[in-house]
Amino acid sequence: MPDAGITAFADWIATTSLSHLIAQKLWAIPAIQSVHIMSLAIVFSSALVVDFRMLGLMSTGQPLSAIARRFLPGVWIALIFATISGLLLLIAEPVRSLPTWEFQGKMLSLLCVIILTLSFQKLIAARAPAWDAMPGVPAGAKLAALVSIVLWILIIFGGRWIAYHAG
Amino acid sequence: MSITEFLQALESTAFATAVREGAILFPFAESLHVVALAFVIGTVVFVDLRLLGLASRNQPVTRLTNDLLPWTWGAFVLAAITGLSLFSSTPERYFTNTFFRWKFFFMFLAGVNMLVFHFVTQKNVKEWDNDPVPPTPARVAGALSILFWACVIVFGRWVGFTL
């Protein structure tokens, strides 16, 4: 991992005026974190409702494609707000977050779960007639839904654990 | 037993000591607390947006609440258990923290709002279950719920900066 490059980049961000502005306002970081938590609450819940429906645990009386159409846009819209607030937090405290394995693991998990969710969206639409009639999807897709839940939980753990990064 | 004695007794339990002194248990409980509260607040907001007539408008209100709310309560129990674990690590510091008290004040308001909706507003739900935009009392309940829960998040986050 190019740690020296990332650390140098983090050091540079810390010298910018935007970074100083956010870091010096006592209320700014908790306020931005609150927006981040509200956004992630919508992202996480929207994704999990679709995952639970795929697993046959929730809303089994309704077609999967209808659930996906209702909730997946929430993932993408709230993800924009989570990304903006997350970027501001990064700019405020780059050295504390960017070089840590917790942050890097969180971003890797996020990339994986975005790709997974995009493929769910396509697959659910493509298989609509067959999958809509079933309470849960076939075993392979169920496993993918389970992986999605685990990835989202890892993302939340990674984010919180940045604050406890040692050394 | 006074409140102070109770808090001190809680703090001296083996579990509280483990949360306070271990390197892993506190961040673990805190992360799980975020997972649980994210699901509680996310699903509550889905119902609130439906009550406001802003989302899931083609769904009966009661179908959405029947599908989501049992899971919301499950996540709430997890948030309460993990929250109590965090609290037990240094009970007196939390109990005397102003932001912590405001957080619970707003959680109390969210609870009252929910009870009023459940036992009063929702009584004639059959008449407006399918309405894309529910009547004013239901919309007010949805808006207040979002406001109160947002305050719970804001004050909860401040606790971490002021202990």
Determine the residue type at A141. Answer: A
How many structural domains does chain A have? Answer: 1
Query: Do the chains contact at A153 and B42, CB–CB below 8 Å?
Result: no
Which pLDDT score, from 0 to 100, does residue A2 have? 58
Q: Contacts of residue B63 in chain A, CB cutoff 8 Å?
A: 61-62
Whole-complex ipTM: 0.95
Which pLDDT score, from 0 to 100, does residue A3 have? 77
B2 to chain A, minimum CA–CA distance in Å? 33
Residue B147: closest C-alpha in chain A: A38
A25 to chain B, minimum CA–CA distance in Å? 13
Band of pLDDT at residue B106, cut at 50, 70 and 90: very high
- 3-class DSSP string for A87-128: HHHHHHCHHHHCCCHHHHHHHHHHHHHHHHHHHHHHHHHHCH
Q: What is the mean pLDDT of each run of 10 residues along chain A (167 residues)?
A: 82 92 89 98 98 96 95 97 97 93 97 98 95 92 97 97 84
Which pLDDT score, from 0 to 100, does residue B92 have? 96
**Poorest-pLDDT segment among A19-28, A71-80, B56-65, B71-80:** A19-28
Determine the residue type at B54. Answer: L
Which pLDDT score, from 0 to 100, does residue B1 have? 82
Q: Residue with structure tokens 């799980």?
A: B32
Taking the C-alpha atoms of residue B112 and residue A116, their distance in angstroms, rounded to an integer, is: 40
Give whole-number Cα distances, A23 to A12, A16, A29, A31, B1, in Å: 15, 11, 7, 12, 44
Q: Does A23 touch chain B (CB under 8 A)?
A: no
Contacts 24+ apart (CB under 8 A), B64-69: B67/A58, B67/A59, B67/A62, B68/A49, B68/A58, B68/B43, B69/B43
B99 to chain A, minimum CA–CA distance in Å? 12
Q: Among A70, A157, A160, whose Cβ lies nearest the Cβ of B56?
A: A70
In chain B, pLDDT over 70 holds for what percent of residues? 100
Mean pLDDT of B116-140: 96
Mean pLDDT of B122-140: 96
Domain range enclosing A115: 3-164
Q: Contacts of residue B157 in chain A, CB cutoff 8 Å?
A: 30, 33-34, 37
Cα angle A61, A65, A68; round to 5:
100
Query: Do the chains contact at B45 and A163, CB–CB below 8 Å?
Result: no
Q: Which candidate in B37, B154, B159, B162 is best for mutational testing of the A interface (most A CBs within 10 A)? A: B154
